[in-house]
Every structure is written in structure tokens, then in C-alpha cells.
Amino acid sequence: MREVTVSRAVDASAAAVSAWLEPETIVEAEGSFTVDHVEDADDEDATLVVASGPGMQLPLRFEDREGAIYYTQEGERGPFSHMETWIELEEERAGTVVTIRSSVSLAAPLPFGDRIAAWKRTGELNRALEELEAAFS
């Protein structure tokens, strides 16, 4: 398993950034999957986003955990054997610093598979931050 972290300052308040960070917006902004549908999870504090990509569907479970947005791949379907992500906001005088941290492990038994998964995940997280930054430019 590998962990990756990306961070960016956004010229907006934490409240505005938080409002933009809806589960389906996050998935679309990452750029690898499109949102197929959104549903409430079994418990009331979570949202399940079913995303689709080339030849697969990926269920993602979103929750609020201690002020951070937390999401993970739900079940066995998807490219990862493990994937969880935290998005944290820190309001500063000139805007908000958004930090995204993700742990990934590739489901396929490839040499250096976790490194490949971390590289791909870093690209997805950077795309999400670029989309977020563009929304407030």
C-alpha cells in the first residue's frame, strides 16, 4: 500500500470550498470516472456514489469524519484492493488550503503495482485540485 498527498491554496473561504466538494463533484473532478448514480448509504451519515469507467463500476462511500471528507472504495469491485481518501480544509487569511491524502493498493498482481496505483492516484488528486482552483478563479 502507498500513501500520496497533494495540497493547494484556493482563493475562497473554507465554507465555499466545502460547498463545492460534493461527492459527485469530487469524482468528476478527479477525471478517471463519471458518476453513474448517487444513493444514500445504509446509514444516514454516508453517501454512496457509483462511478463508471472503462469496463467497470466503482462504488465509493463518502462520509464526514471529524471535519474531513473521507471516502473509500466500497466492496471488491474496482481497480484497487484498497483505496481511502481524506480531504481536509484549513482556512487561512488569504483563502483555504486544501489537502488531499489517499492510500491505495492495486487489485492486480503486477510488479510495482502499488507504485503505479499511487502515481495514477496522484494525477487524479491533482486534477481535482485544478478543477477546484478553476471554480474559484
Give the chain's domain count.
Answer: 1
pTM for the model stands at: 0.91
Instruction: Classify residue 91: in a domain, yes or no.
Output: yes
Q: Is residue 43 part of a domain?
A: no
Q: Is residue 47 part of a domain?
A: no
CATH number of the domain residue 91 falls in: 3.30.530.20
- pLDDT digits 0-9 by tens, 20-59: 999 999 999 999 999 999 987 777 789 999 999 888 888 9
Confirm whether 92 is domain-assigned: yes
pLDDT in tens, 71-90: 998 877 667 788 999 999 99
Where would I find the H helices in the chain?
Answer: 14-20, 23-30, 113-135
Does residue 77 fall inside a structural domain?
Answer: yes
Q: Is residue 54 part of a domain?
A: no
Rounded distance, CA 100 to CA 121, Å?
11
Sheet of 95-106, strands arranged across: 2-10, 95-106, 80-92, 68-73, 56-65, 46-53, 34-40
